[in-house]
Chains A and B, each alone.
Chain A
Amino acid sequence: MHFGGVKAVESITFTLGEGELRCLIGPNGAGKSTFFRCLTKIYRPNAGKIYFRGRDVTSIATHEMARLGVGIKTQVPSVFDGLTVHENLTLAASARHRGREVGRMVDEVVERLSLQAVLGARLDRLSHGERQWIELAIVITSKPSLILLDEPTAGMTHAEVEHTATLIRELNKSAALIVVEHDMQFIRSIATHVTVFHEGRIFLEESAEKVLHDERVGEIYLGKGAFAK
Chain B
Amino acid sequence: MIGRLSIDGQMLAVVTLSTILLLILPQVFEIDTILQLTLNFSFSILALSLAFVWGYAGIFSFGQAAFFGIGGYAYAATAINLGDSTPAIVAGVLVPTLFAALFGYFVFYARLTKIYVAVITLVMTLILYKFMGQTAKPDYMIGNARLGGYNGIPAVPPINVPGQPHLFAGPDEMFYIAGFSLLAVYVLLRWILGTRFGKVIIGMRENEKRMELLGFDTRLYKLLAFVVAAAVAGFGGVVFTNWNAFIDPHVFQLAFSAQPIIWVMIGGLGTLAGPILGTFILSTLSLELGVQKALDVNLLLGAIFTFFVLLVPQGIIPTVRNLLENREAAASNKTDGTTESRG
Give the interface of A toward B (CB within 8 A). Answer: 40, 42, 61-64, 66-67, 71-72, 78-84, 87, 90-92, 94-96, 98, 138, 142
Closest A residue to B209 using CB positions: A78
> Quick one: which of A71, A84, A91, A142 has the most chain B CB within 10 A?
A91
Given contacts A95-B216, A142-B214, A142-B215, 4 further A-B contacts (CB under 8 A): A40-B213, A81-B206, A83-B2, A90-B199
Tell me if B173 is interfacial: C-beta within 8 Å of chain A: no
A164 to B209 alpha-carbon distance, docked (Å): 24
Contact (A87, B213) CB under 8 Å given A80-B203, A80-B207: no
Known: A63-B216, A66-B214. A94 touches B209 (CB 8 A): no
**A95 adjacent to B215 (CB under 8 Å):** yes
Interface class of chain B by DSSP: helix
Asked if A80 meets B210 with Cβ closer than 8 Å, knowing A63-B218, A91-B199, A94-B200, the reply is yes
Complex Cα–Cα for A90 and B205 (A): 16
Smallest CB gap from A94: residue in B: B196
Cβ of B233 < 8 Å from any Cβ of A? no
The answer on a CB contact under 8 Å between B206 and A82 is yes
Mark interface residues in B201-239 (1 if CB within 8 Å of A CB, else 0).
011011101111111111000000000000000000000
Closest residue of B by beta carbon distance from A102: B196
One of B206, B217, B218 near A83 (C-beta < 8 A): B206
Given contacts A42-B209, A78-B207, A78-B209, contact A83 B214 (CB under 8 A): no
Asked if B1 lies at the interface with its beta carbon under 8 angstroms from chain A, I say yes
Report the minimal beta-carbon distance from A57 to chain B, rounded to whole angstroms: 14
Q: How distant is the Cα of A78 from the Cα of B1 in the complex, in angstroms?
A: 18
Which of B1, B2, B202, B209 has the most A CB atoms < 10 Å from its CB?
Answer: B2
Q: How many residues does chain B have at the interface if contact means C-beta atoms less than 8 Å apart?
A: 20
- Cα of A138 to Cα of B216 in the assembled complex, Å: 14
Contacts of A81 in B (CB 8 A): 206-207
Are A87 and B2 in contact, CB atoms less than 8 angstroms apart?
Answer: yes
What residues on A are CB-neighbors of B211 within 8 Å? 63, 91
B86 → chain A closest CB, angstroms: 36
> Assuming the A-B contacts A63-B218, A83-B1, are A138 and B206 also in contact, with contact meaning beta carbons closer than 8 angstroms in the complex?
no
Residue contact A71 to B213, C-beta cutoff 8 Å: yes
Whether the pair B196, A78 counts as a contact (CB closer than 8 A) is no
**Beyond A78-B207, A82-B206, A94-B199, is A66–B212 a contact (Cβ under 8 Å)?**
yes
Measured CA separation A79–B209 after assembly (Å): 9
B residues less than 8 Å from A84 (CB atoms): 1
In the bound complex, do residue B2 and residue A79 qualify as a contact, i.e. CB atoms below 8 Å apart?
A: no
Minimal Cβ-Cβ distance residue in B for A91: B203
CB neighbours of B200 from chain A (8 A): 91, 94
User: From residue A44, how far is it (CB to closest CB) to chain B in Å?
Assistant: 13
Structural contact, A63 and B206, CB atoms closer than 8 A: no
In the complex, what residues of A have CB within 8 A of residue B213's CB? 40, 42, 62-63, 66, 71-72, 78
Residues of B within 8 A of A90 (CB): 2, 199
Contact A63 B203 (CB under 8 A): no
Determine which residue in A64, A66, A98, A138 has the highest number of CB atoms from chain B within 10 A of its CB, and name it. Answer: A66
Q: With the chains together, A172 CA to B144 CA distance in Å?
A: 71
| Shortest Cβ distance from residue B32 to the other chain A in the assembled complex, whole angstroms | 42
**Within the complex, which residue of A82, A98, A138 is in contact with B214, where a contact is CB–CB below 8 Å?**
A138
Cβ distance A142 to chain B, nearest Cβ, rounded Å: 5
Chain B residues 97-147 with CB under 8 Å of chain A are none
